[in-house]
Amino acid sequence: MEGRNKTLGEFIIEKQEDFKYSSGELSRLINSIRLAAKVVNHEVNKAGLVDIIGAFGERNIQGEDQQKLDVYANEIFMQTLINREIVCGIASEENDEYITIKGQDGCHNNKYVVMMDPLDGSSNIDVNVSVGTIFSIYRRVTPEGTPVTTEDFLQPGINQVAAGYVIYGTSTMIVYTTGNGVNGFTLNPAIGTFYLSHPNMEFPKDGNIYSINEGNYVHFPQGVKNYIKYCQREEEDRPYTSRYIGSLVSDIHRNMIKGGIYIYPTSAKAPNGKLRLLYECNPMAFLTEQAGGKASDGFNRIMEIKPTELHQRVPFFCGSYNMVEKAEQFMREAKEQE
């Protein structure tokens, strides 16, 4: 099969050579994520019919109220990866600590660790807005055969071997990269198969959409305020259009297709930013760079930040290359004037 008739399974087999150092484990890992995504998609799409929406009644390590679907999606992705004995460790936004995984032989011989946000934007489920799953895959740095340690998870984003997201929207898609471009696959729900629908996805170099929660404007750093004013100014190619869904996967996905910038800066209310470096920013940065875009914390490349803790937060500027460059310019100029 060629082009848009190609299934995700066929594509993975065809691109096996993209998976460095792998003898099939990474391909099986992507396939496991595909399976878990179909299960979660099924629950998301019947959320209004069963007792799966609303708060779970507990808070996660971030101090955020867990939604029932957060817990469900976390369990599904965890169990799918554990049962297939492909990974040696998993860290999730929903868990306080990483988990170590043994094989059936009791050994720790698998090569990969996975970090994930199992259901990004889950508070939007109740109002039928698109949500997603974000995943990031690294090759372990500690010796095979030993239990994983924190060192295996606190790697800079440049070490990622694969990353991607699933978006559960009007259609369900898996978008991922292994460092050789970005491709998107859409689920045909009638037969449960993902087909290549968006080959070689790329951010337009320029865009006219800016995505930021302007309700927090008074709390933003001066550089961000100045950039927003620039976006709103009446010029030949402006004002830009403001589009903010509040679901990271949805906002990034739209901007990748149409051209735009997503910003979640530091603020008086979130002095380190709100988004998590390991579970959200690094995987989205990898995808963005592979799609010709740019991702930074306003000053530095996201994927070169050395993590210091599992749930570390960072400011995030991500999207069309020239738009992020312009935002960084405003950030630098404001800092110089402090």
Query: CA nearest 269: which of 206, 195, 218?
Result: 218
**Residue 27 is assigned to a ligand binding site:** no
**Residue 96 is assigned to a ligand binding site:** no
**Residue 120 is assigned to a ligand binding site:** yes
Task: Tell me the two tokens of residue 254.
Answer: 């739209």
Q: Partners of 194 in the beta sheet? A: 187
**Residue 75 is assigned to a ligand binding site:** no
Report the SS3 class of residue 58. strand
DSSP 123: G
Radius of gyration of the chain (CA): 20
**280-281-285-288 Cα dihedral, nearest 10 degrees:** 60
**Residue 121 is assigned to a ligand binding site:** yes
Q: Partners of 242 in the beta sheet? A: 210
Report the SS3 class of residue 225. helix
Cα gap 201→120, rounded to integer Å: 21
Phi and psi angles of residue 297, each rounded to the nearest 5 degrees, phi first:
-95, 15
Cα gap 313→292, rounded to integer Å: 24
**Residue 213 is assigned to a ligand binding site:** yes
Do residues 261 and 325 make contact, with C-beta atoms less than 8 angstroms apart? Answer: no
Alpha helix positions (H), 84-167? 150-153
Q: Residues 306, 310, 313, 317: is their CA dihedral positive or negative? A: positive
**Residue 119 is assigned to a ligand binding site:** yes
DSSP 275: S
CA of residue 280 relative to chain centroid, distance: 4
**Residue 151 is assigned to a ligand binding site:** no
Cα gap 299→242, rounded to integer Å: 23
**Residue 94 is assigned to a ligand binding site:** no
Please compute, for residue 82, the number of CA atoms within 13 A of its CA located in the half-sphere on the CB side: 12
Reported residue count of the chain is 338
Task: Tell me the two tokens of residue 86.
Answer: 């492909």
Residues making up the binding site for Mg(2+): 93, 117, 119-120, 280
Show binding-site residues: 93, 117, 119-123, 213, 244, 274, 280
Residues making up the annotated binding site for substrate are 120-123, 213, 244, 274
